Structure 1
């Protein structure tokens, strides 16, 4: 099952994001290698700078998706003001369909 992790950065936390980015990318690469990552990328503000993330993961349950979200180095660094997790159905342009 797919889950969308809708992550919103705390205001003024861009430096936390930049400082933690290498660990975050390594984490996403590991999830990808394990077959747990569908896709991911940052949301951008009007200034073009990242201000959140969309990460779509493959997990058996919403609790397992929450565990993946909590293990993200961005989450551990306190970057996010909030993370909303929603079951998601990839209908169009799904390469696995």
Structure 2
């Protein structure tokens, strides 16, 4: 089942994101077989990263939660919130 993981950074934590980005990307590379899509969200200026959206295929919600908790960004305290939702791709076919 696909899960969308929507993470919102804490205000004034861009340096935490930048410092932990290499570890975050290395962590994601371990899940390439289940990774559907991943990338940062941005502030209204279109350049300042302020969160993450990840879509991964996991057997159940517990595995998605474990993945999110293991992310170096989460371990570094970057996120103000993390929302995990089951998701179904409809379009494009």
Please, what TM-score do these two structures have when normalized by structure 1? 0.91
Q: Output the CA distance in 1 between the equivalents of 2:54 and 2:30.
A: 14
RMSD: 1.0
Structure 1 moving runs of 4+ over 3 Å: none
Task: Kindly state the Cα deviation for residue 57 of structure 1 after the two structures are TM-superposed.
Answer: 1.0
Gaps of 5+ in 2: none
Match of 1:39 in 2: 37
Aligned residue pairs total 92
Structure 1: segments with no counterpart, 5+ residues: none
1:15 corresponds to which residue?
15
TM-score (norm 2): 0.94
